[in-house]
Amino acid sequence: MGTNLDLFQLVGQEKIDMSRFPVENIRNFSIIAHVDHGKSTLADRLLELTGTIDKTKNNKQVLDKLQVERERGITVKAQTASLFYNCEGKQYLLNLIDTPGHVDFSYEVSRSLSACQGVLLVVDANEGIQAQTVANFFLAFEAQLSVIPVINKIDLKNADPERVEKQIEKAFDIPSDECIKISAKLGTNVESVLQAVIERIPPPKAHCKNPLRALVFDSTFDQYRGVIANIALFDGVVSKGDKIVSAHTQKIYEVNEVGALNPNEQPTHKLYAGQVGYLIAGMKDVTEAQIGDTLYLHKQPVEPLPGFKSAKPMVFAGMYPIDQSEYNNLKSAIEKLTLNDSSVTVYRDTSLALGAGWRLGFLGLLHMEVFNQRLEQEYNASVILTTPTVPYKAVLSSAKLIKEYREKEITIINPAQFPDKSKVTEYLEPVVLGTIITPDEYTAKIMMLCQARRGVQKNMMYIDQNRVMLKYLFPLNEIVVDFYDSLKSLSSGYASFDYEDAGYQTAELVKMDILLNGNIVEELVTVVHKDKAHSVGKVICERLKDSLPRQLFEIAIQAAIGSKIIARETVKAYRKNVLAKCYGGDITRKMKLLRRQAEGKKKLRKVGNIEVPKDAFIKVLKTQPDK
Amino acid sequence: MTLPRVRACGWVAAAKAAQRRHQAEGAGGPRCPAPRSQRASLYIHWPYCEKRCGYCNFNKYIPRGVEEAAVRSCLVTEAQTLLLLSGVRRVESVFFGGGTPSLASPHTVAAVLEAVAQAAYLPADAEVTLEANPTSSAGSRLAAFGTVGVNRLSIGLQSLDDAELQLLGRTHSASDALRTLAEARHLFPGRVSVDLMLGLPAQQVGPWLGQLQELLCHCDDHVSLYQLSLERGTALFAQVQQGALPAPDPELAAEMYQKGRVVLREAGFRQYEVSNFARNGALSTHNWNYWQCGQYLGVGPGAHGRFLPQGAGGHTREARIQTLEPDNWMKEVKLFGHGTRKRVPLGELELLEEVLVMGLRTDLGITHQHWQQFEPQLTLWDVFGTSKEVKELLEQGLLLLDHRGLRCSWEGLAVLDSLLLTLLPQLQEAWQQRISTLVPRG
Instruction: Let me know if residue A5 belongs to a domain.
Output: no
pLDDT tens by residue, A55-94: 655 545 544 555 555 555 555 555 688 888 988 888 899 9
Give the separation between CA B243 and CA A410, rounded to whole angstroms. Answer: 55
In this predicted complex, what is the ipTM? 0.89
Which sign does the torsion angle of CA A534, A538, A540, A544 carry?
positive
Q: For the ranges A106-110, A261-265, B64-68, which has the lowest average pLDDT?
A: A106-110
C-alpha dihedral (A225, A230, A234, A240), degrees to nearest 10: 20
- Does this model's pTM top 0.90? My answer is no
Distance from CA of A585 to the nearest CA of B (A): 5
Both A406 and A381 in one domain: the answer is: no
Q: Which domain holds residue A83?
A: 23-200
What CATH number does residue A338 fall under?
A: 3.30.70.870
Under the phi-then-psi rule, with left for phi > 0, alpha for psi from -120 to 50, and beta for the rest, what region is A241? Answer: left
What element of type H or E holds B224? strand B222-227
Both A532 and A499 in one domain: the answer is: no
Both A364 and A422 in one domain: the answer is: no
Q: Any binding-site annotation on A193?
A: no
> Does residue A34 carry a pLDDT above 80?
yes
> Does residue B4 carry a pLDDT above 80?
no
**Beta strand spans in A193-304 (E):** 213-222, 226-235, 237-239, 243-246, 252-254, 257-261, 265-268, 270-272, 276-280, 294-297
- Domain extent listing, chain B: 34-289, 369-438
Among A507, A529, A561, give the residue marking a domain's end.
A507
How does DSSP classify residue A303?
A: P
Distance from CA of B310 to the nearest CA of A (A): 20
**Beta strand spans in A542-600 (E):** 555-561, 564-571
Homologous superfamily of B34-289 in CATH?
Aldolase class I (3.20.20.70)
Among A367, A385, A403, give the residue marking a domain's end.
A385
Q: Any binding-site annotation on A101?
A: yes
* Pair A330, A372: CB distance under 8 Å: no
Instruction: Let me know if residue A626 belongs to a domain.
Output: no
What's phi and psi for B119, nearest 5 deg? -85, -25
Both A425 and A367 in one domain: the answer is: no
Q: Any binding-site annotation on A39?
A: yes
**B residues 206..225 contacting A (CB < 8 A):** 225
pLDDT at residue number A123: 95
Instruction: Let me know if residue A6 belongs to a domain.
Output: no
* Subunit contact B306:A585, Cβ cutoff 8 A: no
* Subunit contact B304:A587, Cβ cutoff 8 A: yes
Among A331, A351, A385, give the residue marking a domain's end.
A385
Both A442 and A561 in one domain: the answer is: no
pLDDT confidence bin for A110, thresholds 50/70/90: confident
Q: How many domains does chain A have?
A: 5
pLDDT tens by residue, B391-428: 999 999 999 999 999 999 999 999 999 999 999 999 99
> Does residue A576 carry a pLDDT above 50?
yes
What CATH number does residue A546 fall under?
A: 3.30.70.2570
Instruction: Let me know if residue A268 belongs to a domain.
Output: yes
pLDDT confidence bin for B13, thresholds 50/70/90: low
Residue B291: closest CA among chain A residues belongs to which residue?
Answer: A583
Interface test with B, best of A554, A581, A583 (most B CBs within 10 A): A583
pLDDT at residue number B216: 97
Both A232 and A369 in one domain: the answer is: no
* Subunit contact B398:A601, Cβ cutoff 8 A: no
Candidates A581, A583, A591; nearest CB to B353:
A591
Sheet holding B39-46, edge to edge: B270-273, B276-278, B222-227, B192-198, B152-158, B127-132, B90-98, B39-46, B296-299, B304-307, B318-322, B340-345
Q: Any binding-site annotation on A152?
A: yes
* Pair B176, B135: CB distance under 8 Å: yes
- Please name the residues in contact with B441: beta carbons below 8 A apart, sequence gap of 6 or more: none
pLDDT tens by residue, B67-111: 999 999 999 999 999 999 999 999 999 999 989 999 999 999 999
Count the Cβ atoms, other than its own, within 10 Å of residue A479.
24
Q: Which residues pair with B152 in a beta bridge?
A: B129
Both A284 and A407 in one domain: the answer is: no
Distance from CA of B253 to the nearest CA of A (A): 8
Distance from CA of A386 to the nearest CA of B (A): 30
Q: For the ranges A204-208, A325-329, A481-485, B297-301, which has the lowest average pLDDT?
A: A481-485
Residue type, A581: K
Distance spanning both ends of chain B, measured CA to CA: 37
Which whole number is the average pLDDT over A112-138? Answer: 90
Candidates A552, A577, A585; nearest CB to B304:
A585
* Subunit contact B421:A601, Cβ cutoff 8 A: yes
pLDDT at residue number A101: 62
**Beta strand spans in B57-210 (E):** 90-98, 127-132, 152-158, 192-198
Which is more confidently placed, B108 or A101? B108
pLDDT tens by residue, B345-400: 999 999 999 999 999 999 999 999 999 999 999 999 999 999 999 999 999 999 99
Residue B225: closest CA among chain A residues belongs to which residue?
Answer: A580
pLDDT at residue number B52: 87
Which sign does the torsion angle of CA A610, A615, A616, A620 carry?
positive
pLDDT at residue number A276: 92
Distance from CA of A587 to the nearest CA of B (A): 8
Distance from CA of B436 to the nearest CA of A (A): 21
Residue percentage of chain A with pLDDT more than 90: 45
Candidates A583, A588, A602; nearest CB to B290:
A583
Which residues in chain A have their CB less than 8 angstroms from residue B53's CB?
Answer: none
Give the separation between CA B142 and CA B407, rounded to whole angstroms. Answer: 38
Which residues in chain A have their CB less than 8 angstroms from residue B296's CB?
Answer: 584
* Subunit contact A552:B396, Cβ cutoff 8 A: yes
Which whole number is the average pLDDT over A291-318? Answer: 86
pLDDT confidence bin for A499, thresholds 50/70/90: confident
Q: Any binding-site annotation on A155?
A: yes
What CATH number does residue A114 fall under?
A: 3.40.50.300
Q: What's the whole-number average pLDDT of chain B?
A: 91
> Does residue B136 carry a pLDDT above 60?
no
How does DSSP classify residue A207?
A: B
Full DSSP string of B105-129: -HHHHHHHHHHHHHHSB--TT-EEE
* Pair B354, B422: CB distance under 8 Å: no
Which whole number is the average pLDDT over A532-549? Answer: 92
pLDDT confidence bin for B16, thresholds 50/70/90: low
Distance spanning both ends of chain A, measured CA to CA: 58
What CATH number does residue A423 fall under?
A: 3.30.70.240
Residue percentage of chain A with pLDDT more than 70: 92
pLDDT at residue number A68: 55
Which whole number is the average pLDDT over B163-175? Answer: 93
Both A194 and A287 in one domain: the answer is: no
pLDDT at residue number A14: 59
- Please name the residues in contact with A241: beta carbons below 8 A apart, sequence gap of 6 or more: A254, A255
- Please name the residues in contact with B166: beta carbons below 8 A apart, sequence gap of 6 or more: none
Both A60 and A176 in one domain: the answer is: yes
Both A172 and A257 in one domain: the answer is: no
pLDDT at residue number A605: 79
Which whole number is the average pLDDT over A209-233? Answer: 90
pLDDT at residue number A75: 54
Both A286 and A421 in one domain: the answer is: no
**B residues 355..414 contacting A (CB < 8 A):** 357-358, 361, 392-393, 396, 398, 413-414
pLDDT confidence bin for B23, thresholds 50/70/90: very low
pLDDT confidence bin for A566, thresholds 50/70/90: very high
Q: What's the whole-number average pLDDT of chain A?
A: 86
Both A64 and A169 in one domain: the answer is: yes
Instruction: Let me know if residue A267 belongs to a domain.
Output: yes
